[in-house]
A and B are shown apart, each in its own frame.
Chain A
C-alpha cells in the first residue's frame, strides 16, 4: 500500500460525512500517513503462527435471555434534535 493521497482523503471524508477545511486536510493528511507508517512497522512482525485477534478481551458468549425490559422511550426521544409528534425528523432522502 502506498501513501494516502489527497484523493483518498476526499473519499474518506465523503464516506464519513466530514467536511474539512484546506488547513485541516493538509494537517490530517500528514497525520494519517504517519498512522499508516506505524501500521507498516507492525506488519513487519512475523505472525505466521499467531492466531488472529478479533477481540481484545478473552471472553465468549456474553448473551442475554429473551426477556423484555420495559423501555423508557421518552427519555431517549427527547434527545432527538428535530421531532414531529413521536417521529424523529431526518433530512429528506429521496
Chain B
C-alpha cells in the first residue's frame, strides 16, 4: 500500500459533494429538489434566484440528514453552526455567492473530525462535513470553440449538498475508490443520497507525491473515474519529477473522454472568496436531544451489519464486508437466509459467480431476474448432491438470463448428477476400452489418471459425480495393476 522502498509517498485527499436526494425541497426554499428530467428553469423562485428582499430558510430535514451522516462517520457534531457566504462570479451562481459553511473566520461547519475504515482496516480520517447549496447547471451550446453564450438552467441551483472532506490519508487510487464505494454504501443505507442518480455524488481530489506540490483535480463525475484520474495524475507527476521538472501548483480538470487531466488554472495564490457570515440565516443549535432522535431513527450501518454477519452466520470477513456494503447484495443475502439457504454457501455464490455473471450480462443486482429463490434452489441442489458445482455455474448463468429457476433448468436439461454406480461403471469401462494406451500410462502417471476422469466427464457432459468417477477409475486401474481384467 505504501509502495516499494525508495518510492515517494503519495498523499491523496478527497472532497466529496453529495446531493441530499431524499429531500423534497431545496436547501433554502420550497422549490422541488428533484430537478432531473424537468424543463429548464421550472424549479426556481425568488429565493433560490437571489432576488432582493427574499429570505432563505434552512430545510430542517437537511440538518437531520447531515447529522445522520456525521454520526455514521464518527464526526464531532457542532453544537452551534453557522452559514457563510462564499463570493465568486460565475454563471452557475444566480446570487453571485453560494450559501455554504466555513471552517475559519469564526465559522463553524456542521461537523469536524471523524473517520471511515476501509477494507483491510485502513482508517481514513475525515476533516469536516458541511452543508451548502448546489450551483446551477450550465449548458454550452454548439462546440466549445464557437459557442457564443452559456445557457443556464437554475433547477439545480439551491439543491442541498453535503460536502465531506477527508484528510490526505489515502495512499493510492484503489484506496480512494474503496473509500468512495464505502461512503456511498453508507449514504445509501442512511437513505440520504442515491448515488445511482447522475451527478448526485461528485468528487474532487488533491494529490501530492513525496511531500511535493499539491495538485487539485476537478470534474470527476463518478467514483470509477476517480481511480483513473488519480492513476493518470500519479504517472504525470512522476514523469515530471523524473525529468527534473517541478510539479506546478494548479487545478486540473479530468477529461473523461481522453482520460487525461488538463490544466485549468494556476494556483499562485489561494482563491479569494471573501467569506463572511450569511446575515439572512441565524445560527443553528444542534442539541443532544436532536442528535439522539436522529440516532434512534438510523438503520443498521454497513460496518455493524458486517460484524453481525460474521458473528451470527460465521461469514468470512471478505464476504461479510462485500455483502454488507452493497444494498442490493445484503438484501438478497438476507432474503436467501430467510428462505433457508445456508448462509456461508449463499455468501460464496453472491460474492463470487453472481457478481461476475451479472456484470457479464450487464444486469443490475436489483434486476428481478436476480431472485433469492434462484440462489437458494441452486445452493440446495449442490448441497443435496443433485448437481456438481461446475454444472451449477452453467445453471446459474442460464437462470439469470431468463425466468426459469435452477430446479426447472436442471429438470428440463437432464443435468442431474450421475451418481448411479452401475450406470457410471459402464461409462468408465467404455473409456478404458477406448483409451488403452492412456490406461497403461495411467498406471505410472497420476496426471494421466486425470485425463481418464476427464474423458468420463466429457462423455457425461460434466454430469458424472466427480468423487464416484475418481473412485471407479482408481479401482479399475488397481485391478489392472494386479493382473485382473478391468471389469470384475
Interface residues, chain A, with chain B CB atoms under 8 Å away: 15, 17, 52, 54-57, 59-69, 71-73, 76-77, 79, 82, 84-94
**B41 near A: Cβ within 8 Å?**
yes
**B140 near A: Cβ within 8 Å?**
yes
Distance A78 CA – B144 CA, assembled complex (angstroms) = 28
Contact (A93, B91) CB under 8 Å given A52-B106, A64-B58, A66-B60: yes
Which residue from B24, B43, B87, B138 sits with its C-beta under 8 Å from A73? B43
Query: Which residues on the A side are within 8 Å of B283 (C-beta)?
Result: 54-55, 60
Q: List 5 A-B contacts (CB under 8 A).
A: A54-B283, A60-B283, A62-B57, A69-B29, A73-B41
**B9 near A: Cβ within 8 Å?**
no
**B235 near A: Cβ within 8 Å?**
no
| Chain A: CB-nearest residue to B57 | A64
Query: Which residues on the B side are within 8 Å of A94 (C-beta)?
Result: 140, 144, 147
Closest 5 CB pairs of A and B: A69-B30, A90-B91, A87-B151, A66-B61, A63-B60
B37-81 interface with A by 8 A CB criterion: 39-46, 49, 51, 57-63, 80
CB distance from A44 to the nearest CB of B (A): 20
Is A85 a contact partner of B40 (Cβ separation < 8 A)?
yes
Contact (A76, B45) CB under 8 Å given A15-B272, A63-B60: yes
Distance A76 CA – B95 CA, assembled complex (angstroms) = 13
Contact (A91, B149) CB under 8 Å given A55-B279, A63-B60, A65-B60: yes
**B148 near A: Cβ within 8 Å?**
yes
Query: Which residues on the B side are within 8 Å of A77 (C-beta)?
Result: 41, 44
| Chain B: CB-nearest residue to A17 | B89
Is B58 a contact partner of A89 (Cβ separation < 8 A)?
no
CB distance from B60 to the nearest CB of A (A): 4
Summarize B's interface: helix, strand, loop or mixed.
loop
B1-46 interface with A by 8 A CB criterion: 23-25, 28-32, 39-46
Query: Which residues on the B side are within 8 Å of A57 (C-beta)?
Result: 282
Distance A82 CA – B91 CA, assembled complex (angstroms) = 13
Query: Which residues on the A side are within 8 Å of B45 (C-beta)?
Result: 69, 71-73, 76
- With A55-B82, A60-B283, A71-B44 given, name 18 new contacts (CB 8 A): A15-B87, A17-B89, A54-B277, A62-B281, A63-B58, A63-B60, A66-B23, A71-B31, A71-B42, A73-B42, A73-B44, A76-B44, A76-B51, A82-B149, A86-B42, A87-B152, A89-B151, A90-B150
**B194 near A: Cβ within 8 Å?**
no
Query: Which residues on the B side are within 8 Å of A54 (C-beta)?
Result: 82, 106, 277, 283
Is B277 a contact partner of A87 (Cβ separation < 8 A)?
no
Give the total of B residues in contact with A, Cβ under 8 Å: 53
Which residue from B29, B58, B151, B282 sits with its C-beta under 8 Å from A88? B151
Interface centre among A65, A73, A89, A91 (most CB of B within 10 A): A73
Query: Which residues on the B side are within 8 Å of A93 (C-beta)?
Result: 90-91, 138, 150
CB distance from A47 to the nearest CB of B (A): 13
CB distance from B54 to the nearest CB of A (A): 10
Interface centre among A57, A85, A89, A91 (most CB of B within 10 A): A89
Distance A82 CA – B24 CA, assembled complex (angstroms) = 30
Query: Which residues on the B side are within 8 Å of A79 (C-beta)?
Result: 49, 51
CB distance from A88 to the nearest CB of B (A): 4
Which residue from A17, A61, A69, A87 sits with its C-beta under 8 Å from B285? A61
Query: Which residues on the B side are within 8 Å of A84 (C-beta)?
Result: 149, 151
Is A66 a contact partner of B59 (Cβ separation < 8 A)?
yes
Distance A9 CA – B43 CA, assembled complex (angstroms) = 39
Query: Which residues on the A side are within 8 Å of B89 (C-beta)?
Result: 17
CB distance from B479 to the nearest CB of A (A): 80
Which residue from A62, A63, A67 sits with its C-beta under 8 Å from B30? A67
CB distance from A27 to the nearest CB of B (A): 22
Query: Which residues on the B side are within 8 Å of A71 (C-beta)?
Result: 30-32, 42-45
Is B60 a contact partner of A64 (Cβ separation < 8 A)?
yes
CB distance from A43 to the nearest CB of B (A): 15
Is A62 a contact partner of B282 (Cβ separation < 8 A)?
yes
Contact (A88, B25) CB under 8 Å given A52-B106, A60-B282, A71-B32: no
CB distance from A80 to the nearest CB of B (A): 8
Query: Which residues on the A side are within 8 Å of B63 (C-beta)?
Result: 63
**Binary A-proximity of B164-197 (CB < 8 A = 1, otherwise 0):** 0000000000000000000000000000000000
**B274 near A: Cβ within 8 Å?**
yes
**B139 near A: Cβ within 8 Å?**
yes
**B469 near A: Cβ within 8 Å?**
no
**B284 near A: Cβ within 8 Å?**
yes
Which residue from B29, B40, B80 sits with its C-beta under 8 Å from A87? B40
Distance A77 CA – B152 CA, assembled complex (angstroms) = 11
**B233 near A: Cβ within 8 Å?**
no
| Chain A: CB-nearest residue to B31 | A71
Contact (A63, B49) CB under 8 Å given A68-B30, A76-B44: no
Distance A17 CA – B45 CA, assembled complex (angstroms) = 25
| Chain A: CB-nearest residue to B42 | A73
Distance A25 CA – B67 CA, assembled complex (angstroms) = 47
Is A88 a contact partner of B41 (Cβ separation < 8 A)?
yes
Is A90 a contact partner of B149 (Cβ separation < 8 A)?
yes
| Chain A: CB-nearest residue to B272 | A15
